[in-house]
Amino acid sequence: MKKNFLKKLAAGFLTSILLVGTIGCSNASDSANSNSSKNGKVELKIGTWAGAQELKEFQAIVDKLNKESKDYHLTIQSIPADYYKKIQTMAAAKQAPDLFWLSQEYIPMYAELGVIAPLDDYIKGNPKVNLNDYFEGPLQVGKVNGKLYGLPWINQPVMLYYNKTLFEKSGVELPKPDWTWEDFEKAAKALTKDTNHDGKVDQFGTVIDGWPPIATWVWTYGGEIIDKNGKVRIDEPEAIEGIKMLNKLINVDKVTPTKTQAQNTGGPEMFKTGKVAMFFGGAGDDFEKQVGNAFEIGMTKVPHAKTEATFSWIAHTVMSNNTKNKKVAAEALVDLTNAIHDWKILPPTKSDLEKVEKIRPDKKYAVDIIKESAKMARGFNNQKQQNELDNAIWQELYEPILLGKKSPEKAAKDAAEALRKILGQ
């Protein structure tokens, strides 16, 4: 789940080169997708980044839908590497798959460039779609200028994983669902130790190395980075209070390995090997399987200050604006998305949350707390320049805080100026 901001920025630049001036003026009649019929069914391609075992599981879903449908036949177009680069290239040539997956941060850009089509008219009245059943967070990121451009198939909130064995061995109180950042800080300090007495810390309370997102602190202190109206607010008092706590954990309390230490070994690996007591990971991460019997894992909600909030990794199924038969393509999109809710956790719908334990039995111990987090999980208020915005936040705020090169106030001010420049504010 961890973001690589520089790679995302490169993808954003590539998009600008390939798409601006070519996609916005396209229409269905220009499409290279003929949607030709086979046995009376409309032929549709579904683009996915799934590969290996995941692809086999996805193929089984598609095979079942093809067998049941009288209207369409789906063919998977697997792009396990350089997914967005290849999708963007195909879109520029008006050969994008009829349906494909998009992570939340790409939706505004693809929508405003005309690459993907709004779904409102095609899903209206469809008994298989209940928009009120979706959690607001995952549904909201698919909306651009009041129109819905995708249906979410996953809502994976960031959770706080912890090494229960290490906590108990150290005599530290176990994390609770109502933990504040001060509670987290206290535990992290108690669990940061030089266990072999060589003068160097070799066990840390947590790991912060560019992950989790800066919003983890900003939102829980009542702040915003960019609000729903696109206004930059990262330099407001509430946001700065969150950044101050982040800075304190890293540079004052020193409860996390340095950026270099963490990235050389890897935050998840440090948690799995008992070098880190608490880790911010996705609800669907498979730490339980990877850790095995090495230690007992616990899970709870992300700590909070003024309000409870957590970032969620959200992806949607979208429809190409160049697909010929949008009515049938939308029907397939709905069926496919609904079927994925039985496969991936967490489903973005309230009614499907009961499936979590069945889909992933290893999460049984944490099902209730995962459900609570799903209700408050959200994505960013994404903009069409989201890749540039993410990179500016990294360069002007997150990395300088990690390296102790800026105060929270200075970092917030510099980041706000950069964001406003990108957005023309």
Same domain for 289 and 169, yes or no, is: yes
Share of the chain above pLDDT 90, in %: 89
> Tokens 């916005």 appear where?
24
Contact 204, 256 (CB under 8 A): yes
In degrees, rounded to 5, the angle at the alpha carbon of residue 349 between the alpha carbons of residues 326 and 163 is: 130
pLDDT at 40: 87
Instruction: Label residue 2 by pLDDT band (50, 70, 90).
Output: very low
Span 224-241, average pLDDT:
97
Q: Which domain holds residue 393?
A: 158-311+383-423
- Comparing 24-38, 82-96, 192-206, 220-234, the range with the smallest average pLDDT is 24-38
pLDDT at 263: 87
pLDDT at 39: 76
Q: Per residue in 238-284, pLDDT tens?
A: 999 999 999 999 999 999 999 999 989 999 999 999 999 999 999 99
pLDDT at 317: 98
pLDDT at 14: 34
pTM of the model: 0.90
Same domain for 229 and 152, yes or no, is: no
Same domain for 281 and 335, yes or no, is: no
199: alpha, beta or left? (left if phi > 0; alpha if psi -120 to 50): left
Where does a domain end: 357, 378, 399? 378
Is the pLDDT reported for residue 28 higher than 70?
Answer: no
Is the pLDDT reported for residue 375 higher than 70?
Answer: yes
How long, in residues, is the chain? 425
Same domain for 326 and 209, yes or no, is: no
- Comparing 22-31, 217-226, 237-246, 303-312, the range with the smallest average pLDDT is 22-31
Three-state DSSP class for residue 309: coil
CA distance 20 to 37: 32
pLDDT at 297: 97
pLDDT at 38: 59
Q: Per residue in 202-213, pLDDT tens?
A: 999 999 999 999
Q: Per residue in 304-351, pLDDT tens?
A: 999 999 999 999 999 999 999 999 999 999 999 999 999 999 999 999
CATH assignment of the domain containing 405: 3.40.190.10
* Total structural domains within the chain: 2
Instruction: Label residue 292 by pLDDT band (50, 70, 90).
Output: very high
Please name the residue ranges forming H helices in 142-258: 164-170, 181-190, 215-220, 237-247
Same domain for 28 and 139, yes or no, is: yes
Same domain for 35 and 13, yes or no, is: yes
Radius of gyration of the chain (CA): 22
Q: What are phi and psi of 349, to 5 degrees?
A: -110, 145
Same domain for 149 and 163, yes or no, is: no
pLDDT at 36: 64
pLDDT at 412: 98
Contact 203, 165 (CB under 8 A): no
Same domain for 166 and 302, yes or no, is: yes
Instruction: Label residue 37 by pLDDT band (50, 70, 90).
Output: low
Is the pLDDT reported for residue 27 higher than 80?
Answer: no
Instruction: Give the burial string for 381-413 (b: 16+ CB within 10 Å, else e).
Output: bbbbbbbbbbbbbbbbbbbbbbeeebbbeebbb
Same domain for 305 and 206, yes or no, is: yes
Same domain for 237 and 351, yes or no, is: no
Same domain for 18 and 145, yes or no, is: yes
Is the pLDDT reported for residue 8 higher than 60?
Answer: no
Q: Per residue in 147-169, pLDDT tens?
A: 999 999 999 999 999 999 999 99
Same domain for 287 and 207, yes or no, is: yes
- Comparing 11-15, 132-136, 231-235, 406-410, the range with the smallest average pLDDT is 11-15
Is the pLDDT reported for residue 4 higher than 60?
Answer: no
